[in-house]
Amino acid sequence: MNRNVLMAGGGIAGMAAGFAVARVGWFAKVFERAPEFSEVGAGVQLGPNVTRILQAWGLGDALKHVAAFPAGLQARSMNSGEVLATLPLKDALNTYGAPYVTIHRADLHGLLLKAAVREGVQVHSDALVQRVHQTPDDVTLDVMQNGQLQNHKGTVAVGADGVWSPLRQQLLGDGLPTFTGHVAYRALVAQVDLPVHLRSQDVSVWMGSQAHVVSYPVSGGEYLNVVCLAEGRLLDDEAHNLQALQTWNAQKSEAQTLAELYHALRGACAPLTDLMAACSDWRLWPMCSRPAMQGAHQHVQGRIALIGDAAHPMLPYLAQGAGMAIEDAEELALQFCHATPENAPQQLQQFAQARWQRNACVQARAVRNGQIFHAQGPMRVGRDMGLRLMGARLMDVPWLYGYDRN
């Protein structure tokens, strides 16, 4: 029997998994439906739990060339601008043995793609996985590529095809993700184009009522990634429009976008409104999700595994979406160190048992963080008071950043 792993999806999850299993002696094929391999979106935060893996994979130097290494994380009041608490991110290296970095999604995807190709991973773009079949001995992907339906046989298949995963629908049949009522407005601005007082090499989180703004450097600090996450409308009355929900890059007119932003940020302090006014080309991302994972069966069925957003969509309030996908990839590789074509289903079950509870915990904590970030009334007062009193102790998450499967 062969030792082929077939990946449906060539984003961060699929590329990381393809590279990881290739490192331990398996042959990986990655099928991406887009015409070319790229990543949409803007910035990504990677905690020490993730950069530790990238360093172990030999990608530490590549990361240094494209990432930013913020000195601190500031929690601020959206209305007054007061710095409520600061977490020194530079301490992460000493505390957790790996740095905290911020990076453009395209840069992260690019370094994973280069590493995968270098490791012998076979990548196919413009390749739509339509269906997966499995027997007790192998799997087959039906792939539409270059206008032709092709069949690819392998030992196992991995669904890394995102939050709207067709493979998940075939495998679990548990319906589509639902719109959370939260919308992210994203912009990327060159730091040199910002007034000096708005430039930053830190992560800043401005917390208000039913909205917050996060900004951080990417591309070696040359750009500032700015995201406003607000509870509100999508595209007018399109909250139930499937096409509108599935986009990362929806756009409205500049006037309409600014009107919605200023409504979400009403009462915000001058430094924050100045930053928002300095940004343009805003893109909308409607946030859709699923309940936290309920069991290992949502990761693995027979010879087919689901990873990343296909298995456990993450809301961005803990900044761990890409991180959990990379942790999934690392665990998959650890199990494949002991796998043979014959015992692959058993090793996939070990993978599922090792991952589902942690992913469920991170999903739930992200939801809770969103409630805290957007708190109103007495809860908001308590949040701000707690940050003033406890500072970094309240912001650090050792159970998350200290995780090391090895």
- Residues 165-200: tens digit of each pLDDT: 999 999 999 999 998 989 899 999 999 999 999 999
* Nearest C-alpha neighbor of 203 from the set 186, 218, 189: 218
Domains of the chain (ranges, CATH numbers): 4-176+290-401 (3.50.50.60)
Instruction: Please state the three-class secondary structure of the chain as a single string.
Output: CCCEEEEECCCHHHHHHHHHHHHCCCEEEEECCCCCCCCCCCEEEECHHHHHHHHHCCCHHHHHHHCECCCEEEEEECCCCCEEEEEEHHHHHHHHCCCCEEEEHHHHHHHHHHHHHHCCCEEECCEEEEEEEECCCCEEEEEEECCEEEEEEECEEEECCCCCCHHHHHHCCCCCCEEEEEEEEEEEEEHHHCCHHHCCCCEEEEECCCEEEEEEEEHHHCEEEEEEEEECCECECCCCCHHHHCCCCECCCHHHHHHHHHHHCCCCCHHHHHHHHHCCCCEEEEEEECCCCCCHHHCEECCEEECHHHCCCCCHHHCCHHHHHHHHHHHHHHHHCCCCCCCHHHHHHHHHHHHHHHHHHHHHHHHHHHHHHCCCHHHHHHHHHHHHHHCHHHHCCHHHHCCCCC
Is residue 226 over pLDDT 70? yes
Confidence of residue 78 (pLDDT cuts 50, 70, 90): very high
Is residue 27 over pLDDT 90? yes
- Residues 313-326: tens digit of each pLDDT: 999 999 999 999 99
- pLDDT of res. 145: 93
Sign of CA dihedral 14, 213, 245, 257: negative
* CB neighbourhood size of 284 (10 A): 20
Catalytic residue among 185, 216, 223, 401: 216
Show the CA angle centred on residue 79, arms to residues 73 and 82, nearest 5°: 45
User: Which is higher by pLDDT, 252 or 366?
Assistant: 366
- pLDDT of res. 42: 83
Confidence of residue 404 (pLDDT cuts 50, 70, 90): confident
Active site residue 96: no
Structure tokens that stand for 18 in this block = 């393809």
Is residue 38 over pLDDT 80? no
* Mean pLDDT, the chain, integer: 92
CA-based R_g, the chain, Å: 21
